[in-house]
């Protein structure tokens, strides 16, 4: 996770400090749109994975928590 944050900070350094909030918001929106497109495309497979493999539920929760932490970081970074 720290590696993702360092890459983000490096990317953010290319923009003036006044635009950091706008860039963070745009990236958060792009991540949410991308996730929604994947869910729409592969929703049946995600449901089957959760139903057929009970061990996958903690993995999916971990993925969700990681993505939510990244989005929270993008939205709170100034």
Q: Is 54 helix (H, G, I), strand (E, B) or coil?
A: coil
Positive or negative: CA dihedral 13, 18, 21, 24: negative
User: Which pLDDT value is given to residue 78?
Assistant: 57
Averaged pLDDT for residues 38-65: 77
Calculate the alpha carbon distances from 9 to 46, 63, 66 in Å: 32, 22, 18
User: Which pLDDT value is given to residue 31?
Assistant: 86
**Domain-by-domain residue ranges, the chain?**
27-75
What is the C-alpha to C-alpha distance for residues 12 and 50, in angstroms, rounded to an integer?
A: 36
User: Which pLDDT value is given to residue 28?
Assistant: 86
For the cut 70, the answer to whether the pLDDT of residue 41 exceeds it is yes
User: Which pLDDT value is given to residue 23?
Assistant: 87
17 versus 55: the higher-pLDDT residue is 17
């Amino acid at each position: 996770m720290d590696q993702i944050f360092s890459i983000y900070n490096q990317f953010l350094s290319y923009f003036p400090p006044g635009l950091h909030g706008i860039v963070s918001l745009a990236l958060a929106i792009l991540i949410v749109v991308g996730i929604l497109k994947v869910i729409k495309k592969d929703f049946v497979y995600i449901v089957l994975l959760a139903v057929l493999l009970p061990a996958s539920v903690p993995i999916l929760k971990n993925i969700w928590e990681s993505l939510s932490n990244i989005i929270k970081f993008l939205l709170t970074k100034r």
